[in-house]
Chains A and B, each alone.
Chain A
Amino acid sequence: MLLQRTARILPLLAPVHLLILSVIVLPSLYVVWLSLNTSSFGQAPNFVGLRNYWRVLSDPAFHSALWNTVVLVVVAVHLELAVGLGMALLFASGLPFRRFLLVAVLAPYAVSEVTAVVMWRFLFDPDAGPITLALHALGLPSLDWSFEPSHAMILIGLLTIWLHLPFTFVIVYAARLAIPAELYEASRIDGATRWQAFRRVTLPLLGPAMLIALLFRYIFAFRLFSEAWLLTKGGPARSTEVVAIYLYQEAFSFNAFGPAAATAWIMVLASLLLAGAYVLLLRRGGVAHAH
């Protein structure tokens, strides 16, 4: 009976699992082996234990890349969540042309990282960028992103928020729409102010959805590559590298597959840690009311 059922469902499951096994799972495990060896193209691998990890973890360039990534993740993702939450509340408070506005907010989702870089590079062009000019006209400082590493990181942050705000907004907005209106009526009858209703009704009920959005965005911001690569290539002098660029440089510019593989596993472990939190949250059913 069990065997029969297995025989029936296996062919249907096979394509997905074969793809994932051969493209993601086995290669990821192979990366573990790579990370314990020194090797580059055409050379016989040589077992070195954890030396690659040691080398990466003591490399100042890795420290700087990790620092950049962590700051980017922490600042950009939380800023994005705050803005997304504000927008969700604004939308839920009743707006004319809501469908049109929703579509407008979703628009950046369609934009590729490459095209977004073209846009934002020009908006902040030091000579003719409209944002630069507007900032100057208002007497405000502009971003010297091509010289000043911290300014480049700000631009990368803005770019990544712009690209991913639609995601965060939709998750929070959907959760907000799922809160029954009766709860607000009840709180009003009990004499609660708007602020109290927000603190006692909205925030607790949006909590799980906001946590989900945060975890997803941590995971996706931690692997950020294209925006930074296309804007600065990690330069000047490796000052704007993020972890994914560090990995790419080690592997494809310096041909150091061992350290690159060690970096890759550090990335996987960080992602899995966050993924574990996510799965725990799903399991607890904490988001049952979020749709």
Chain B
Amino acid sequence: MRTERLLIGAGKAVAVLAILFWSLFPILFIAMSSLKPGQDIFAVPPKWLFTPTFKHYAELWRSWGVFFEGLLNSLLITVGATLLAIVASACAGYVYSRNSGRWLGASLLGLIIVRLIPPIVVTLPLFPIVNWLGLSDTHLVLILLYATFFVSLGTVLMRTFMDQIPRELDEAASMDGASRMTILRKVIAPLAMPGVLAVAVFVIVFSWNEFLFAFIFTATRAKTAPLVISEMIGSIDGVDWGILFAAATVQLVPVLIFVVFMNRYLVAGLTAGSTKG
């Protein structure tokens, strides 16, 4: 009995170590390698002890100014898409939470289905239209695209979270003479904060990291950080891995810290977003 328990304990420990290795090793290894002096990156066997240097970061700053412009573009687009998606989803989610009816039910189902259409499909017709509207290579086009691909999930999530807020609160506020908008802003929104944060995690992570739309719809002015990194990969002969690792680390660290702090909302959003309709 005791040996059995010991064996199970050992098995679990091995499994946990394997999980940690799988999840964290790729991240830690490039973050570590970004601090290695040039020749140590390619050392065989890999060097685990070395004098850390910020040389690659300095070089990134000097020779890849476009990467930092990309970070700024990513930031602007992420903020814009997040605000748009949250406001739009909160409004619609409120309606779906407080009302019911055949048309509403059908349109909510429509939202769920639309979310499952592959994004690359809409690039075909949108590419000429965006060009024609003069929106190509602007922040606005990515903000609209990113927000749109998350408002359906956002609406479903907001509805789920708002369903937990008692309707009596709406009624009390409305008897005090508050308008719909005021109720939503002053009563519902503060209580629906977990839902807002869950939606925010999704949109922020997606907008910060997205590649396909940025690749197709931006060229220079609105180029995002992932796109710049992809160009660095493309010119691997000209660029050394150290700079690439530095860029990847700079792109990753903020969103990683964000996800670590928001892990509760991410888990709540993932489960509510896929198991409730």
Contact = CB atoms under 8 A, between A and B. Distances in A.
A24 B277 contact: no
Contact of A247 (B19, B88, B120): B120
A234 to B, nearest CB: 14
Given A87-B19, A104-B24, A113-B211, A118 B244 contact: yes
Interface in B2-33: 12, 15-16, 19-20, 22-24, 26-27, 29-30, 33
| Chain B interface, >50% SS class | helix
A172 B18 CA distance: 19
Interface in A94-142: 95, 101-123, 127-128, 130, 133, 137
Contacts of A133: 44-46
B233 A117 contact: yes
Contacts of A95: 12, 16
A225 interface: yes
B124 to A, nearest CB: 6
A16 B23 contact: no
Interface stretch (A6-14, A48-56, A183-191, A196-204): A6-14
B125 A30 contact: yes
Contacts of A61: none
Interface string B127-160: 1110000000000000011011101101100000
B117 A109 contact: no
Nearest to A247: B120
Contacts of A127: 42, 44
B230 interface: yes
| Chain A interface, >50% SS class | helix
Given A116-B26, A118-B30, A128-B44, A24 B122 contact: yes
Contact of A93 (B12, B19, B210): B12
Given A34-B124, A105-B19, A133-B46, A275 B271 contact: no
B175 interface: no
A151 to B, nearest CB: 18
Given A12-B180, A167-B270, A114 B229 contact: yes
B117 A268 contact: yes
Given A112-B211, A116-B26, A15 B259 contact: no
Nearest to A244: B120
A90 B12 contact: yes
A109 B29 contact: no
B126 interface: yes
A106 to B, nearest CB: 6
Nearest to A115: B248
A290 B275 CA distance: 7
Contacts, number: 267
A112 B144 contact: no
Contacts of A179: none
A279 interface: yes
A192 interface: no
A120 B26 CA distance: 7
B241 interface: yes
Contacts of A16: 88-89, 91-92, 111, 151-152, 154-155
Contacts of B266: 106, 109, 170
A128 B36 CA distance: 14
A254 to B, nearest CB: 13
Interface string A249-291: 0011000010011001101100110110011001100010011
Interface bracket on A: 35 or more
A71 interface: no
B92 A12 contact: yes
Contacts of B259: 106-107, 109-110
A188 B167 CA distance: 43
Contact of A271 (B29, B99, B118, B154): B118
Interface string B185-217: 000000000000000000001001111100010
Contact of A13 (B92, B152, B216): B92
16 contacts: A13-B91, A16-B91, A19-B144, A24-B114, A27-B122, A28-B117, A95-B12, A101-B19, A107-B260, A114-B230, A118-B30, A119-B30, A128-B43, A137-B45, A167-B270, A260-B124
Interface of B: 12, 15-16, 19-20, 22-24, 26-27, 29-30, 33, 41-46, 87-89, 91-92, 94-95, 99, 107, 109, 111-114, 116-129, 144-145, 147-149, 151-152, 154-155, 180, 184, 205, 208-212, 216, 226-227, 229-230, 233, 241, 244-245, 248, 251-252, 255-256, 258-260, 263, 266-267, 270-272, 274-277
